[in-house]
Copies of this chain bind each other. A is one copy, B any other.
Amino acid sequence: MSLVVIGTLAYDSIETAHDSRESALGGSAMYFSVAAAPYVQPRLVGVVGGDWRDEDMKLLARRGVDLAGVESIPEGKTFRWGGRYEPDWNTRHTTFTELNVLESFEPKLPAHYCQSKFVFLANAHPQVQMQGLAQVESPIFSVADTMNLWIDVARPDLDQLLHKIDGLILNDEEARMLTGENNLIRAAQRVLELGPKFVVLKKGEHGAFLLGEGLHFSLPAYPVTEVIDPTGAGDSFAGGFMGWIAKTGNAYPDTLKRAMLHGTVAASFCVEGFSVEELANRTLDDYEARFQDLQAIVTL
């Protein structure tokens, strides 16, 4: 079934202990779309500037992403972000953020996007997320991501958003900040009291768990032997997760559990290359093979 994603398209400058990239393809909606593409045709909503490279549009088109919702502002500049990772990967420093065209971004969904049944609101100001969601006429399942910044500066808007969505995906640090609970299970329980029917709590290299009413599923990460660049792993997880759900066409507990594995698979491909370099080459066969591997590792 149809899946729409609203989020950022970016050029990233990334430094790791081993290598670096300038103006690499990035952004939450970018990673999400590339990750979800083997399962469905993601309908992408985002904004780019006049510096957006034609080759990047082609990459997305080749991947089967619907680009009708990508707004281009020729006189503007694409959102840019820079990050540097410590050798242990656990600490990331943001070296710069240039909002550029993102500053005045208001999502506008093309007519056919408004019929989408599955919605993912990637990290953005919660008002922007709500503007996007409001344009979808009768979504059957909507999930959002968020980040520390919005928890800090836009809490009332975020609280409103949390009552409009079915699920929230966030990481350990964000869950602790949102709820004031250090213990992650208790933090996830608190998130459920804020509105969503379920929460996916991501713990990076330590996996993720899913909590909802009568639903609890915990999964380790896929054992990647060489991490190249963790940028976008969380958005790729969301892409694999939502892509699988949209493909299946329902959000029953069994579907959500399997979606956790599909999200984990997508995130593992993401971190094996810079930017979307590896992820964008992965086929449905690759996804299925790694799904089998992961399932074998976690099955008694």
Q: Which residues of A contact B (CB under 8 A)?
A: 87-88, 182-186, 203, 206-207, 209, 216-220, 223-227, 254, 257-258, 261, 295-300
Q: Are A206 and B203 in contact (CB under 8 A)?
A: yes
- Known interface pairs A183-B224, A261-B300; 12 further A-B residue pairs with C-beta atoms within 8 A, sorted by A's residue number: A183-B226, A184-B223, A206-B206, A206-B220, A216-B297, A217-B297, A218-B223, A218-B298, A257-B300, A258-B300, A298-B298, A299-B299
Chain B residues closer than 8 Å to A257, beta-carbon distance: 300
Chain B residues, Cβ within 8 Å of A295: 300
Kindly state the separation between the CA atoms of A207 and B261 in the bound complex, as whole angstroms: 17
With a cutoff of 8 Å between Cβ atoms, the chain B residues found around residue A206 in the complex are 203, 206-207, 220
Please, which residues of chain B bring their CB within 8 A of the CB of A183?
A: 224-227
A300 vs B254: C-alpha distance in the bound complex, in angstroms? 7
CA distance A87 to B182 in the complex (A): 9
Residues in chain B near residue A223, CB distance under 8 A: 184-185, 209, 216, 218
The answer, among B182, B209, B225, for a CB contact under 8 Å with A186, is B225
Interface of chain A: mostly helix, strand, loop or mixed = mixed
Q: State the copy count for this chain.
A: 2
A241 CB to nearest chain B CB (Å): 14
The reply to whether B297 and A299 contact each other, CB–CB distance below 8 Å, is no
* 25 A-B residue pairs with CB within 8 Å: A87-B182, A88-B182, A183-B224, A183-B226, A183-B227, A184-B223, A185-B223, A203-B206, A206-B207, A206-B220, A209-B297, A216-B223, A216-B297, A217-B298, A217-B300, A218-B223, A219-B220, A219-B298, A257-B300, A258-B300, A261-B300, A295-B300, A298-B298, A298-B300, A299-B299
- Whole-angstrom distance between the alpha carbons of A297 and B210 in the complex? 9
Least CB distance, A253 to chain B, in whole angstroms? 10
Residues of B within 8 A of A224 (CB): 183, 185
B-chain residues with CB within 8 Å of residue A207 when the two chains form the complex: 206-207, 220
Q: How far is the CA of A296 from the CA of B210 in the complex (A)?
A: 13
Which residue from B185, B218, B219, B299 sits with its C-beta under 8 Å from A225?
Answer: B185
Nearest chain B CB to A295 CB, angstrom units: 7
In order of increasing CB-CB distance, the 9 nearest A-B pairs are A206-B206, A218-B220, A185-B223, A218-B297, A216-B297, A185-B225, A257-B300, A186-B225, A220-B220
